[in-house]
Amino acid sequence: MALLEVNGLGKRFGGLAAVNDVTFSVAGGEILSIIGPNGAGKSTLFKLISSFLRPSAGRVIFEGRDITAQAPHRVARLGIVRTFQETTIFREMTALDNVVVAHHLRARASLGGFYFATRRARRDEAKFRKSAREILGSLGLGEVAGQRARSLPHGHLRALGIAIAMATAPKILLLDEPFAGMNPEETDACVAMVRGIRRRGVTVLLVEHDMRAVMRISDRIVVLNFGRKIAEGRPAEVRENPAVIEAYLGRPDDELGA
Amino acid sequence: MYAAVRNAATVRWYIAGAALAVYLIVIPAVFHASPYILTILTTASALAFISAGVWLTFHIGRINIGQGAFALIGGYAGALAVVDLGLPFWFAVPLGGIAALAVGVVIGLPILRLRGVYFAMVTLSLSETARLAALSFSGLTGGAKGVVNIPLPGGLSLFGFTLLGDFADINKHLAFYYLGALLLVAGFAAMFRIVHSRLGWLFRSLQQNEDLAASVGVNVAQLRLVAFAISCFLGGAGGAFIASMQQSIYPASFQVQDSIYFMLYCFLGGLGYVFGPLVGTFVLFLSFEFLAGLNEYQPLIYAVIMIALMLGLPNGLLSLRLPRFATWRAWFGLRAEKDDGAA
Ligand SMILES: Nc1ncnc2c1ncn2[C@@H]1O[C@H](COP(=O)(O)OP(=O)(O)OP(=O)(O)O)[C@@H](O)[C@H]1O
Ligand SMILES: [Mg+2]
């Protein structure tokens, strides 16, 4: 059974169909990339899956359950967690505190318990701190754990966004352009990082413009254009697909690289 | 470096301890026979308690100019509980808080979706709405005449022991001073704990990015409501206390201007510090009371202070740096260390 099924999903903004009748499914443990030209509807699709937007049509089925139009924090609780295309962090907290706060879903103590610092709450806090350090370390942020997030350089901020999402122990992670603005070396490191995340049993959905990275990392690729799915398949298949080549033809800056 | 940080924290605790000793011991000892001064200080304690609520709403990223409404609701609820229902005074403050909390939850549910200037405007209009409501529902509130002659607290005894005499027989100004102090210390201790527990971290996560908080599973709507409910409780309980102390409450007891002052106290003390509203209230309220000649220019001076703050001291009084630690150590007789340069 597929881990996640997207069924006839659609979203209209006024007259614009940003996502239009999109259907695909995601198997547990795979890395599936969503590609397409600017404005194709990729981020909107992510927002629909993570319930940050309410679809105009269609369903999202996760582990066999219909989760369409649930509150976003409930969907996160089920294990679907997104990152943001724009750098999104808790700016005034340290990198470590960003990740500690994000452990919220793993708390076993109640809010009242945390207020009165019960034994269970103290154990939670200690566990979160330890786990946050591990996550930061595994994403190459160990050195900057104590720094205020807003003062971190861009590359670190992208990684911190991912660290925050990882703190929830997601089953499926939706990464929106994690490699944006990175140089080739940083991208290579980040590709290795995404593979590492998958190795820990997390299914990854990836929106990305860096075709070289996408072709290397993806098990499968779904291609969107003007909100519609125009192709789906393994990287080699998608690269040869005439519809895909045509969609990208008018855009010489987006090369379907090797 | 670490030593310097620890010493700065130590110095802060010394200052806080000294201030608390002055507040709880020195002032009552010196001024126990000055009803005027005791009353002003008691009022300041209650206003600081009410402002703490406004500060907490700031802490989730909402500008709250409606606290006057909740102080008024609490004031009336407490007063009517004593006058109409004949409950003892000791119920007035908690009931005032609960009444304001209940109204706050009902109103907060829809309005907390608003952000920025929209939330500020709606809360501002709440202040005026509450005043008009108090005027119009005269069957309950007595209209413009208000609720007057609220009886003083009776004695408090437990298992036959008299804990506190009837306020009519004892120095009631001193008794109210201590009650106000109790309110203030309990209120700010609770706030301190909130801010330093996970609850505070979650509130700050809302302040800094609600979408990100939701994406990691935080129930944003629920937490916003919790913060606002606490804020309203503080407003209501403080309002009920002031009404009991003044033995009266009128529609004009808390109005738009008061709501703005509560906010200003928070700005003055510093939005980044849980004791900001306390410092802000005492500094501003007491300066005005003791410089009585300035009263007619009060709104003007408040406005000037507001502007000056925004320009010169955006993080409030508490963001002013302390003098060098060596100086403080010398004052408090702490051992001077060689590595002062590190501070
Ligand atoms: N909240 C919104 N209101 C109106 N239109 C929107 C909204 N969000 C997105 N759109 C429109 O929907 C279309 C799809 O946007 P989306 O952000 O999903 O594209 P994308 O594939 O992520 O593009 P990019 O690669 O540039 O990030 C665009 O035309 C965009 O202008
Ligand atoms: Mg996008």
Lining ligand 1 with CB less than 6 A are: A 13, 16, 18, 36, 38-44, 85
Who wins on pLDDT, B171 or B64?
A: B64
Q: Which helix (H) or strand (E) holds A172?
A: strand A172-176
- Amino acid in the structure at residue A89: I
Q: Residue B218: which of A84, A89, A104 has the nearest Cβ?
A: A104
| Contact criterion met (CB below 8 Å) for A100 and A128 | yes
Q: Output the CA A63–ligand 1 centroid distance in Å.
A: 28
Write down the mean pLDDT value for chain A: 90
Our CA-based measurement puts residue A62 at a distance from the nearest CA of chain B, in whole angstroms, of: 16
**Do the beta carbons of residue A50 and residue A9 sit within 8 Å?**
no
SS3 A148: strand
**Amino acid (one-letter) located at A197:** I
DSSP for A73-117 reads HHHHHHTEEE--SS----TTSBHHHHHHHGGGGG--S-HHHHHTT
CA B289 to chain centre: 17
Segment A89-93 shows an average pLDDT of 93
Q: Is the pLDDT of residue B341 over 50?
A: no
Nearest ligand to the CA of A42 is 1
Mean pLDDT, to the nearest integer, of B119-123?
93
* pLDDT confidence tier of residue A251, bands split at 50, 70 and 90: low
Give me ligand 2 centre to Cα A60, in Å: 20
pLDDT > 60? residue A256: no
Contacts of B145 (CB under 8 A, 6+ apart): B250
Neighbours of ion ligand 2 (CB under 5 A): A 43, 85
SS3 A63: coil
Which residues in chain B have their CB less than 8 angstroms from residue A100's CB? Answer: 201
Res A132 pLDDT > 80: yes
pLDDT above 50 for B247 = yes
Residues A4 and A82: beta-carbon distance below 8 Å:
no
For chain B, percent of residues with pLDDT exceeding 70: 87
The residue nearest atom 24 of ligand 1, judged by CA position, is A38
Torsion of CA B68, B70, B71, B75, to 10 degrees: 140
pLDDT of residue B290: 76
Share of chain A above pLDDT 90, in %: 66
Phi, psi of A24 (to 5 degrees): -165, 170
* Structure ipTM: 0.91
φ, ψ for residue B6, nearest 5 deg: -65, -40
Handedness of CA B310, B315, B320, B321 (dihedral sign): negative
Number of Cβ within 10 Å of residue A118's Cβ equals 14
Mutate to test the pocket of ligand 1, among A19, A22, A43, A48 (most ligand atoms within 8 A of CB): A43
pLDDT of residue B328: 46
Tell me: pLDDT of A163 over 90.
Answer: yes
Query: Quick one: which of B60, B40, B33, B64 has its CA closest to B50?
Result: B64
Residue, of B167 and B27, whose pLDDT is higher: B27
What element of type H or E holds B288? helix B276-290
Q: How far apart are CA A186 and CA B247, in angstroms?
A: 69
Residues of B in CB contact (< 8 Å) with A are 193-194, 197-199, 201-202, 204-205, 208-209, 211-212, 214-221, 226
**pLDDT tens readout for residues B228-237:** 999 999 999 9
Note whether B216 contacts A102, CB cutoff 8 Å: yes
**How many Å apart are CA A46 and CA A53, to the nearest integer?**
9
What tokens does B214 get?
């939701």
Residues B187-205 pLDDT 10s: 999 999 999 999 999 999 9
Of the candidates B194, B202, B208, which has its C-beta nearest A104's C-beta? B202
Residues 28-87 of A with CB under 8 A from B: 50, 52, 71-73, 76-77, 81-84
Chain centroid, CA B236 distance in Å: 10
Q: What is the mean pLDDT of chain B?
A: 85
Residue A127 has pLDDT above 80, yes or no: yes
pLDDT at B339: 41
- Indicate the pTM of the whole model: 0.88
Distance from Cα B333 to the centre of ligand 1, integer Å: 64
Please enumerate in sequence order all residues whose Cβ is within 8 A of that of B284, keeping only pairs 6 or more positions apart, or say none.
B261, B264, B265, B268, B302, B305
Ligand 1 centroid to residue A224 C-alpha, Å: 12
As a whole number of angstroms, the distance between CA B337 and CA B331 comes to 14
